[in-house]
Structure 1
Amino acid sequence: MKTRIVLASASPRRRELLSQIGLTYEVLPSQKEEASKAREPSELVTELSAQKAGDIASSIEGPALIIGADTVVCHNGQILGKPRSEEEAAGMLAFLQGDTHQVYTGVTLILKSGAKNREVHFTEMTEVEFGPMDESEIREYIATGEPMDKAGAYGIQGFAARYIVAVRGDYSNVVGLPVARLYRELKKLDVL
């Protein structure tokens, strides 16, 4: 019998990535208010992904595998989540342009089967080099609306691709889910 796979995220990008690697899954986004005091990006995304996966795991019957994920951008030690305003987005893009930053995605897998849950946590980091952007380019990009629901105020798979000079590591991690690592972990859990 195939294991039921549940994505604890409303992200259309994560859904596309799961479909891209041939997984059949359902979407049940976590409604839990995310909270963390972690200051390190890898700790933060691991903790938040665990909160999302745990929220859904506690609300459904097994057997099932729940996937929780969270992504942040980090530049010069500063963690950037999703911008809350266009001005904040402009500030983030000005901060990132012309330099290299890191994208961290934490993933939590909870396998519900029987009386005991099995949990796997992992984090991937990818370096992204952003080309220079002037003020008019930043404003033009913000006008697309694309930056407003993305960590670091940009989507590598969208209009911002014109400013990406180099990617070192897993590209899909920057989109929001490191699918190659996820696939390996699912095989280890004997879900596939």
Structure 2
Amino acid sequence: MPPVHLVLASASPARLALLRAAGIEPEVVVSHVDEDAVAADLGTDDPGELVAALARAKAGAVASSTAPGDRPTLVLGCDSLFTFAGTTWGKPASAEEAVARIRAMREGEGVLRTGHHLVDLGAGREVGGVEATTVRFGPMTDAEVDAYVASGEPLRVAGSFTLDGRSAPFVDGVEGDHTNVVGLSLPLLRRLLADLDRSVTDLWAAP
């Protein structure tokens, strides 16, 4: 039997790399969802509710334009936000904002939340969930912050940091699932698949 076809409704190279490392070769279809409009319609600042709504909107947008084809097809949407000292951040809008955030975060800790939403096109079923991971940061000098921001990496990721790039040496530890911090919780994906009567092995590409 051919593997179940997974469509990843995200442009994130980190999410794609996580899935590939886990033996899954998804099709990537970017949703182009207006995240600000989704947040405005939701009417809450709760980060867990917001990432869940954004993941659901992205999966739904791609699912509505995707034909099931000749094999079972699932659509996965994800969205991440980082909460630090009571403030929730997505990607920084500028290098200056990234510098200010990182200087505030050093030697502190925050929570990275990722919403996941999975749609089974053939069965007409969908499930979702949110994973939260606590991240502890080590010290960074002003020169190290400036060098990191100059690399451009923090402008592309929620919270202005990532565990799979140049900021990894400055993360002293995480409490919870580390793949969630990268952008997609593989254990949560496994549980969502089980809710749809699927196994993660159903998605594995042929050797």
TM (normalized to structure 2)? 0.87
Residue 63 (structure 2) pairs with residue 57 (structure 1) = yes
Greater displacement, 143-152 / 178-187: 178-187
Partner of residue 129, structure 1 = 136
- Aligned match of 1:81 in 84, 90, 95? 90
- Counterpart code for 2:34: E
% identity of equivalent residues: 39
Cα deviation digits, residues 22-63 of structure 1 (max 9, x gap): 113211110121121331111110000011000001111125
Answer whether contact 1:82 1:153 (CA < 8 A) is retained.
yes
* Separation of aligned partners in 2, 1:188 and 1:103: 24
* Separation of aligned partners in 2, 1:43 and 1:27: 25
1:145 Cα deviation (Å)? 1.1
- Aligned match of 2:169 in 162, 174, 182? 162
Partner of residue 121, structure 2 = 112
The 3-state SS of whatever aligns with 2:121 is strand
Answer whether contact 2:14 2:183 (CA < 8 A) is retained.
yes
Residue 146 (structure 2) pairs with residue 139 (structure 1) = yes
TM (normalized to structure 1)? 0.94
- Counterpart code for 1:146: E
Partner of residue 49, structure 2 = 43
1:185 Cα deviation (Å)? 2.0
The 3-state SS of whatever aligns with 1:121 is strand
* Separation of aligned partners in 2, 1:22 and 1:190: 19
Structure 2: segments with no counterpart, 5+ residues: 203-207
Answer whether contact 1:80 1:92 (CA < 8 A) is retained.
no
Answer whether contact 1:65 1:112 (CA < 8 A) is retained.
yes
* Separation of aligned partners in 1, 2:25 and 2:161: 28
Residue 106 (structure 2) pairs with residue 97 (structure 1) = yes
Residue 13 (structure 2) pairs with residue 12 (structure 1) = yes
1:68 Cα deviation (Å)? 0.1
* Separation of aligned partners in 1, 2:197 and 2:8: 18
**Alpha-carbon RMSD:** 1.3
Partner of residue 22, structure 1 = 23
Structure 1: segments with no counterpart, 5+ residues: none
